[in-house]
């Protein structure tokens, strides 16, 4: 499968609350269009998208998965994302490179916390989107109720585009309100709408048409005059309104009943924008001047690495969105972040764990490159004679930490390398050394992310660690001003050892650390001894006098002393 022109590509992130059925939806679409030979299921551990052992054990998505497939002349790249906040980093990465989004809402649960969170992110980025009300076969599913919640929460721009026929286990098809037709599966014929169904969905169609014509002055005038509006006019106006975020269509589906996929695929192809419509992408030159790159295969190459997977057997796999130009195999590209040249050997299109070799990837498409040496997530890849830098992904900050300690000496030798690969794979993981407690601290968004990281250390990199609650890195300080003399005298035969200093210490504002100064008058302590005194002060401050914690936020001033011409 070669890259088509940018107008025939759809890059869509599938987002929503955890457990709302995102992976099941993508699996069902892949099977329905013939991209897979069997229907993978999350609960059975047979999904081609959730391939990590931790994903199969927990029955949730942890890593973003890419699913590419053709549909009626359009190449669709679906980015299946984690829904739980603990693994939100991959969701942020997917939304960064997608031109549109599918927001999944469970018909039996309605709007949930994850729905609200991702909607806020989409609003910030002004990302075009459609809403899929899924799992309509469930007992408590209610399409009308969920649609009402969506319109109440996000306004009247949320309108139904396809509504279900039947409910729960009697769900059999969906109705295309714009075209007035029944739609079943992608391979089932389109049927005319029965008269009784046309009457039932009259209110839905009115909501849809009114939302569309309000975005186009000419159509609004004709609608108010009672003139008939053609399907093509409404379709084109709806596409423009969705692209501009003025209308959010709602589609009904059920993975279990295999209903709604013809409608959803039509909506993806006809309503969501292509990379060409998304327009030029803005980056910066090495001198920080803004540069615009068009989604044109003939332009200079620029691409962005938005995900890195580390596999101990296959090696590193970099997920790349090509923004301009053409990426070819067996060529050299320039990493503008690391300022290093990388060799591109093979290039893959991905469908979950399945890989398809390709020679070239054009502007607007998404691919994977194996075994890049220095390149990591957030890297910009480009031509060396036309350097451009794209802004990095703004990943969520960690909020949960544990102290980790290798279980054996062999684990200690491999720990640093394994942690480096792990943080490359998941930028929301942070590793630091706490000098005050001599602990290695591993931080993540939540506790489940820490548990997954520890399992990956063991299963992927062969490093076993013990976890415990981090010790509090206390600090000691002083509350008042004081002076003291320190005198050292030792005679060992021949030249002895002698030093005599007077120090004044006083408190400093929080965050000042250790401040050292001298106020020697008359050469009582020669200048060449001052660095040794400062070294002694700083070394002593590492071990406080109360409980052995570092002493900070004070000023030590050397103001007097004496020396011996021979022994000092």
Q: What DSSP string describes 485-509?
A: EEEEEE--SSS-EEEEEEEEEEE--
**How far apart (Å, rounded) are the C-alpha atoms in residues 516 and 198?**
85
- How does DSSP assign 399-455, residue by residue? -EEEEEEESSHHHHHHHHHHHHHHHHH-TT-EEEEETTTTEEEEEESSHHHHHHHHH
List the beta bridge partners of residue 283.
Answer: 291
Distance CA 128, CA 239 (A): 10
Rounding to the nearest 10 degrees, give the CA dihedral for residues 358, 359, 362, 365.
Answer: 20
Q: What is the C-alpha to C-alpha distance for residues 196 and 285, in angstroms, rounded to an integer?
A: 61
Pull the structure tokens for residue 338.
């690391």
CATH 3.30.230.10 range(s) for the chain read 482-562
Residue 282's pLDDT is 94
User: DSSP H helical segments within 214-285, as ranges?
Assistant: 217-224, 231-243, 261-271, 275-278
Closest CA to 513 of 413, 436, 428: 436
Nearest-angstrom CA–CA distance, 3 and 390: 22
All CATH 3.40.50.300 domain ranges in the chain, comma separated: 6-278
Query: What pLDDT is recorded for position 493?
Result: 67
Could you give the dihedral angle defined by the CA atoms of residues 532, 537, 542 and 548, in that order, rounded to the nearest 10 degrees?
A: 130
DSSP state of 551: B
Give how far the C-alpha of residue 294 lies from the chain's centroid of Cα atoms, to the nearest Å. 24
Residue 248's nearest CA partner among 158, 123, 320 is: 158
- Taking the mean position of all CA atoms in its chain, how far away is CA 353? 19
DSSP state of 85: G
| Closest to 445 in 3D by CA, of 506, 385, 400 | 400
Q: Which of 114, 170, 116 is nearest to 138 (CA)?
A: 170
Query: Distance between CA atoms of 209 and 201, rounded to whole angstroms?
Result: 12
pLDDT of residue 40: 82
Domain 281-382 has CATH 2.40.30.10: yes
For domain 6-278, the question of CATH label 3.40.50.300 is answered with yes
Q: Which DSSP category does 270 fall into?
A: H
Instruction: Using DSSP, state whether 329 is helix, strand or coil.
Output: coil
- Residue whose tokens read 């063991």: 458
Identify the three-state secondary structure at position 352: coil
Q: Which CATH architecture has domain 482-562?
A: 2-Layer Sandwich (3.30)
Contact of 164 with 171, CB cutoff 8 Å: yes
158-160 and 340-344 beta bridge pairing: unpaired
**Where do you find CATH 3.30.70.870 in the chain?**
400-468
Phi, psi dihedral angles at 403 (to 5 degrees) = -95, 135
Strand partners, 440: 404, 433
Q: Which segments in the chain show pLDDT lower than 70?
A: 1, 184-194, 196-197, 312-314, 493-494, 565-568
In DSSP terms, 439 is beta-bridged to 434
* pLDDT score of 192: 67
Exposed / middle / buried, residue 507 (Cβ in 10 Å: 0-12, 13-18, 19+): middle
The confidence score (pLDDT) of residue 189 equals 57
Q: pLDDT of 336-350, one tens digit each?
A: 999 999 999 999 999
Q: Which helix (H) or strand (E) holds 536?
A: helix 530-541
What's the CA gap between 159 and 414, in Å, rounded?
55
* 338, HSE (Cβ side, Cα atoms, 13 Å): 16
Angle 261-271/231-243 helices, nearest 10 degrees? 70
The Cα 465–Cα 415 span in angstroms is 9
Please calculate the CA angle 13-317-394 and round it to the nearest 5 degrees. Answer: 50
Q: How many other β-carbons are positioned within 10 Å of the β-carbon of residue 18?
A: 16
Within 8 A by CB and 6+ apart from 248, the residues are 129, 130, 131, 154, 157, 158, 159, 242
Task: Spell out the CATH class of 400-468.
Answer: alpha beta
């Amino acid at each position: 499968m070669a890259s088509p022109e940018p107008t025939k590509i759809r890059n869509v992130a599938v987002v929503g609350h955890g457990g709302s059925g995102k992976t099941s939806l993508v699996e069902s679409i892949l099977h329905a269009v013939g991209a897979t030979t069997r229907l993978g299921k999350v609960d059975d551990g047979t999904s081609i998208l959730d391939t990590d052992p931790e994903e199969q054990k927990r029955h949730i998505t942890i890593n973003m998965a890419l699913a590419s497939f053709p549909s009626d002349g359009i190449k669709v790249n679906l980015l299946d994302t984690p829904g739980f906040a603990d693994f939100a980093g991959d969701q942020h990465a997917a939304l960064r490179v997608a031109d549109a989004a599918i927001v999944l809402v469970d018909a039996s649960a309605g709007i949930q916390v994850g729905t609200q969170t991702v909607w806020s992110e989409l609003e910030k980025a002004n990302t075009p989107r459609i809403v899929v009300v899924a799992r309509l076969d469930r007992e408590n599913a209610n399409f009308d109720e969920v649609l009402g919640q969506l319109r109440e929460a996000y306004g009247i721009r949320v309108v139904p585009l396809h509504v279900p026929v039947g409910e729960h286990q009697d769900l059999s098809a969906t109705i295309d309100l714009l075209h007035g037709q029944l739609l079943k599966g992608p391979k089932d014929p389109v049927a005319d709408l029965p008269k009784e169904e046309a009457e039932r969905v009259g209110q839905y169609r009115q909501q849809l048409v009114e939302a569309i014509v309000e975005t186009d002055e000419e159509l609004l005038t004709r609608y108010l005059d009672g003139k008939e509006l053609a399907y093509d006019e409404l379709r084109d106006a709806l596409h423009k309104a969705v692209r501009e975020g003025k209308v959010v269509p709602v589609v009904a589906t059920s993975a279990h009943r295999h209903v709604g996929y013809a409608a959803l695929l039509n909506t993806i192809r006809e309503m969501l924008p292509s990379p060409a419509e998304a327009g030029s992408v803005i980056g910066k030159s090495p001198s920080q001047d803004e540069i615009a790159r068009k989604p044109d295969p003939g332009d200079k190459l620029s691409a962005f690495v938005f995900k890195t997977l580390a596999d101990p057997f296959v090696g590193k796999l970099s997920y790349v969105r090509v923004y301009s130009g053409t990426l070819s195999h067996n060529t050299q590209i320039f990493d503008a972040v690391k300022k290093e040249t990388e060799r591109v050997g093979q290039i893959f299109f991905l469908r979950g764990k399945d890989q398809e070799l390709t020679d070239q990837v054009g502007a607007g498409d998404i691919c994977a490159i194996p075994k890049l040496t220095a390149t990591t997530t957030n890297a910009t890849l480009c031509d060396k004679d036309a350097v451009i830098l794209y802004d990095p992904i703004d990943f969520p900050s960690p909020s949960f930490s544990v102290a980790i300690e290798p279980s054996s000496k062999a684990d200690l030798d491999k720990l640093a390398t394994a942690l480096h690969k792990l943080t490359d794979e998941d930028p929301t993981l942070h590793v630091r050394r706490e000098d005050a407690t001599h602990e290695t601290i591993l931080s993540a968004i939540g506790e489940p992310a820490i548990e997954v990281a520890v399992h990956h250390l063991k299963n992927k990199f062969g490093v076993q660690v013990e976890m415990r609650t981090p010790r509090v890195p206390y600090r000691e300080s002083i509350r008042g001003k004081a002076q003291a003399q320190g005198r050292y005298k030792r005679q060992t035969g021949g030249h002895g050892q002698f030093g005599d200093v007077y120090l004044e210490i006083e408190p400093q504002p929080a965050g000042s650390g250790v401040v050292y100064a001298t106020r020697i008058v008359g050469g009582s302590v020669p200048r060449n001894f001052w660095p040794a005194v400062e070294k002694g002060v700083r070394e002593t401050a590492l071990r406080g006098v109360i409980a052995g914690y570092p002493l900070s936020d004070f000023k030590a001033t050397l103001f007097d002393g004496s020396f011996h011409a021979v022994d000092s």
